[in-house]
Amino acid sequence: MKENIRVAIQGVKGSFHHAVAQSHYGEGLTLVECETFDATVNTLLEDKANQAVMAIENSIAGSIIPNYALIDQNELQIVGEYALSIHHNLMVLPGQTLADLKEVHSHPMALLQCKDFFKDYPHIRLVEAEDTADEARRISENKISGTAAIASIAASGLYNLEVLASSIQTIKNNVTRFVIVQKKGDEVPQEHINKAALKFTLDHQRGSLAAVLNVMSDCQLNLTKIQSLPVIETPGKYAFFVDVTFDELEFYDKARKLITIMASHFKILGEYAQHIR
């Protein structure tokens, strides 16, 4: 790992993006905090950061589609991924109870993942915000009573908040997949790659997608993700974003060459090593 690498995240210290950055990069990390994913991408484009951590998929809420578009449209390169088990915690200024709460502020994804918990507390209003940990920080710094944040345990410690309820997410096995992205540049050595993120567009013909999927199967690729997005310039046409894993680079190369011929547009978003955690 590079020394003194500058890593951009959406959010602040104590956020889940921060947790991934710490785990992935270890010591020597310089954190670049950004309010939005657009701002996160801009730090890369403006060379204010070397790499960025971006959430791409959650096991409860599904794909984070705008981030697929950001990676694609800005010609970013995926060089790694990290799966983090997400535990959402309800936190307040010390001394308060659930009965004292009027509002809970957090990122829309966190609110969605915890909505069942609040069915028993109809008096609490759920308010969308930019970031989980930043709401914890705001409540702490401004001494806001009657308002709680949903954030990580790390955030409660950083901002001296009391946890009223732990792991309040609806589905306890809650995992978010993050990707490590950068501007086009240094690539992962081919002998290390076993996963690829691809994008392709097909002509609107019967069986065209099935034909591509058959190529992947015949070449012993394991399709781990498929996501379609409409092609804005051509109504009725779709681009497909897929993740594949493989054991033999030779078979992947064969599939890639065949799909390049079959697709009207083909693009590699990233080739990297998938680490099982």
Owner of token pair 């693009």: 267
* Beta pairing, strands 5-10 & 76-85: unpaired
Are 149 and 139 spatial neighbours (Cβ–Cβ below 8 Å)?
A: yes
Q: Which domains does the chain have, with CATH numbers?
A: 5-86+174-183 (3.40.190.10), 89-165 (3.40.190.10), 190-272 (3.30.70.260)
- What are the pLDDT tens digits along the chain (277 aa)? 456 899 999 999 999 999 999 999 987 899 999 999 999 999 999 999 999 999 999 887 788 989 999 999 999 999 999 999 999 999 999 999 999 999 999 999 899 999 999 999 999 999 999 899 999 999 999 999 999 999 999 999 999 999 999 999 999 888 999 999 999 988 888 888 999 999 999 987 888 999 999 999 999 999 999 999 888 778 778 899 999 999 999 999 999 999 999 999 999 999 999 865 4
pLDDT, one tens digit per residue, over 109-146 is 899 999 999 999 999 999 999 899 999 999 999 999 99
What is the rounded distance in angstroms from the CA atom of residue 274 to the CA atom of residue 80? Answer: 7
Relative orientation angle of helices 249-262 and 208-218, to the nearest 10 degrees = 160
Spacing of C-alpha 210 from chain mean position: 28
pTM above 0.75, yes or no: yes
Token duo for residue 134? 């930043």
Helix (H) or strand (E) holding 57: strand 51-58
Burial 240-265 (b: 16+ CB within 10 A, else e): bbbbbebeeeeebebbbebbeeebee
Which pLDDT score, from 0 to 100, does residue 3 have? 61
174, 156, 173, 178: which is closest to 165 by C-alpha? Answer: 156
Computed on alpha carbons and rounded to an integer, the radius of gyration of the chain in Å comes to 21
What is the rounded distance in angstroms from the CA atom of residue 270 to the CA atom of residue 15? Answer: 25
